[in-house]
Structure 1
Amino acid sequence: MNRFIRLLKDWTLPVSIALGAGVYLIFAYTPGLEQASAFFAPIMETILPMFMFFILFVTFCKVDFRKMIPVRWHLWIGGQQVLFVLLMVALILCFSLKGDNLILAEGILACIIGPCAAAAPVVTAKLGGNLESMTTYTFISNFITAVLIPVFFPLIEPRTTIDFAEAFFLILYKVTLVLIVPMGLAFIVKHFFSRFHYWVIKVKDLSYYLWGASLTIVTGTTVKNICHAETSISFLLLIAAMSLFLCFLQFAVGWRIGSSCGSIVESGQALGQKNTAFAIWIASVYLNPLSSVGPGCYILWQNIINSIELWRKGKAGKMRAS
């Protein structure tokens, strides 16, 4: 039993992905469970934001707010995100992409322009990176995204009319709900409810396991969207392959930048781990809805990379211990 529990702890993310995909497929394709699937779907959609709120609240309880200041790697990673977006938009416009080619490009763009994942500080802390530095960049990345979307999306989707101020403040409103509210609550708890704060932070890896649970729900939703995508299997495989390549590319560039700034873990997570739920939303609202399959696949790839990183760190730790 202890060996089984240790296996679950070491491979939380792959287990969460497999469980989410498996449970959805069972409920969706087993006769007699269709009604149960329809019943639980809205419940899962309601629970997921709660999971994200508690994940960030627990994470922010461990943050030293006095250390949340911009550092050099923030500039390089933010600049790289902007550069990737410029290159992708230029490719779409210069080659006048249409049809499936445009959908594929929009799926890639959604993964690039999307902000750093709100859960990135959780993985960064687990990998031994700087939690405060990663948390700071999460806010910077969301601000960059809020500026880029209303500027570039009307260029590639002329049918989409986006008012800059409206889109900017809509995105900032979502950032406030997702990031600032749990951070404010964590600040209050940390400074005025010390006993409860101690109880929260003493539970080892609480935010990590909450994130694993939320990943189960997200994976089920992702598999559902892919299964119901109205396109050919070959095109879905192409989107999945391109999102895999893009995921590895963004992590690799982040690691390369981080190696020169002494922040490999933080830079890799900052550029590679994306808020895919947000990317799916912007793709569905502002671009061709089918392009949302791109960030849907991306979430699987980025968490596989995270799993490998965590496994390597755990293995290195065991070798040092021996």
Structure 2
Amino acid sequence: MNTFIRFLKNWTLPIGMTCGVMGFMAFHYIPQLSPIKPEAQQTAEFLMPTVLFVMLLSTFCKVNPHDMRLTRWHVWLILFQMLSCLAIAMFLHFLPSFSHALHAEGLMICLVCPTAGAAAVITGKLGGSETSLTTYTILSNLAAAIIIPLVFPMVEKHTETSFLCQFLTILRRVFPLLIFPLLIAWGLRVFFPKAHAAVVRHTGGLAFYLWGFGLTLSVGQTCRYLVDSPVSTHLKWLLSLVSLVACAMQFFIGKTVGAAYGERIGGGQGLGQKNTIFAIWVSYTYLSPVLSVAPGTYIIWQNLFNSWQLWRKEKQSGKKPKRQ
């Protein structure tokens, strides 16, 4: 039994991804499951935000609001997120006939996409600061809400609504599941300290396993996006390659900048682990449904890398000599 639990602990993310792919394939290729396919999709769409809310609540209960503060690595990575998006948008604005415009737009979406709320979970598992990463996650989402309505009309001019309307629309999309659990966690800490202590004491690694289950749901949805997309196979592969480059680049830059301030893990997860479901929505809303392939495959690359990081950490921990 202990061996099974240890295996599950070490391979939660790969198992979650595999289950997501297998679940999608079952509903896609087995005709007998077709009658319950709509209900299964509705259930997944309901469970995804619910699981994320509970996961973030248990994580944020461990975050002391007095320890949340802006640091230099936050500023540098936010600047990279915003300026890289602006640079690509300006390039496409002045060169609208660029032959690889779609690929550039896919890269732009992967770069401007804010940090996933669950990034704090992986950061804590890897030994980084969940508090510092939580601060950065809020800043990253706010930066995306500002830069997207400002910059994306330079690329696609069909958006007629005002900046304020677009800004509020994005905030409504990303902030409820990020801010509400944070406020509830802080409320428990201040007004119900015993309940707060019980949550911290009994949840333990719950957030990580909830993230594994949530990954099953999100990978299944991603597979559906990819298969239903009317994009040619050649373009899908190219956009997948773009997202792979973006993923590798952002983890590298994030870790490099973070290491300069003693936050290598937080920097890497903050810049590299993205809210890809939000990025898919941005693709459909502001640019083109075709581009959803880039953030759709990004979730695969980032979680393959996360799985490798967790495996390496577990392996290194197992090599440490036991204390006498």
Q: Same fold (TM over 0.5)?
A: yes
Letter in 2 for 1:244: L
Deviations 1:262-286 (A, max 9, x none): 1100111111111111111111111
In structure 2, the partner of 1:157 is 156
Q: CA deviation at 1:290?
A: 1.1
Deviations 1:54-76 (A, max 9, x none): 11111110001100110111111
Distance in 1, Cα, partners of 2:4 & 2:321: 21
Q: CA deviation at 1:187?
A: 1.2
Distance in 2, Cα, partners of 1:192 & 1:147: 33
Distance in 1, Cα, partners of 2:321 & 2:23: 38
Q: Secondary structure at the match of 1:274?
A: coil
TM-score, normalised to structure 1, is 0.95
Letter in 1 for 2:304: I
Q: Are 2:90 and 2:154, in contact at CA under 8 Å, matched by a contact in 1?
A: no
Q: CA deviation at 1:102?
A: 2.9
Question: Is 2:233 the counterpart of 1:233?
Answer: yes
Distance in 2, Cα, partners of 1:137 & 1:77: 9
In structure 2, the partner of 1:19 is 19
Distance in 1, Cα, partners of 2:127 & 2:257: 18
Q: Secondary structure at the match of 2:175?
A: helix
Question: Is 2:200 the counterpart of 1:201?
Answer: yes
Q: CA deviation at 1:235?
A: 1.3
1:100-115 maps to which residues of 2 (within 5 A)? 101-115=100-114
Structure 1, unmatched stretches of 5+, are none
In structure 2, the partner of 1:250 is 250
In structure 2, the partner of 1:218 is 218
Moved more, 217-226 or 236-245: 236-245
Letter in 2 for 1:182: P
- When the two structures are aligned, how many residues end up with a matched partner? 321
Q: Which runs of 4+ in 1 moved over 6 A?
A: none
Distance in 1, Cα, partners of 2:4 & 2:113: 36
1:1-322 maps to which residues of 2 (within 5 A)? 1-97=1-97, 101-202=100-201, 203-322=203-322
Q: CA deviation at 1:293?
A: 1.3
Q: 1:254 to 1:97 in 2, by over 3 A?
A: farther
Distance in 1, Cα, partners of 2:282 & 2:161: 12
Distance in 2, Cα, partners of 1:263 & 1:39: 43
Distance in 2, Cα, partners of 1:129 & 1:90: 36
Q: 1:225 to 1:98 in 2, by over 3 A?
A: farther
Q: 1:188 to 1:103 in 2, by over 3 A?
A: same
Deviations 1:223-244 (A, max 9, x none): 0110111022121111111111
Distance in 2, Cα, partners of 1:311 & 1:300: 16
Moved more, 159-168 or 63-72: 159-168
Letter in 2 for 1:240: S
Q: Are 2:106 and 2:242, in contact at CA under 8 Å, matched by a contact in 1?
A: no
Q: Are 1:103 and 1:288, in contact at CA under 8 Å, matched by a contact in 2?
A: no
Distance in 1, Cα, partners of 2:306 & 2:37: 29
Distance in 2, Cα, partners of 1:174 & 1:38: 23
Q: Are 2:11 and 2:307, in contact at CA under 8 Å, matched by a contact in 1?
A: yes
Distance in 2, Cα, partners of 1:275 & 1:116: 6
Q: CA deviation at 1:98?
A: 6.2
TM-score, normalised to structure 2, is 0.95
Q: Secondary structure at the match of 1:32?
A: helix
Q: Secondary structure at the match of 2:70?
A: coil
Q: 1:162 to 1:102 in 2, by over 3 A?
A: farther
Identity score, percent: 39
Q: Are 1:283 and 1:292, in contact at CA under 8 Å, matched by a contact in 2?
A: yes
Distance in 2, Cα, partners of 1:223 & 1:167: 28
Q: Are 1:106 and 1:283, in contact at CA under 8 Å, matched by a contact in 2?
A: no
Q: Secondary structure at the match of 1:33?
A: helix
RMSD between aligned alpha carbons?
1.5
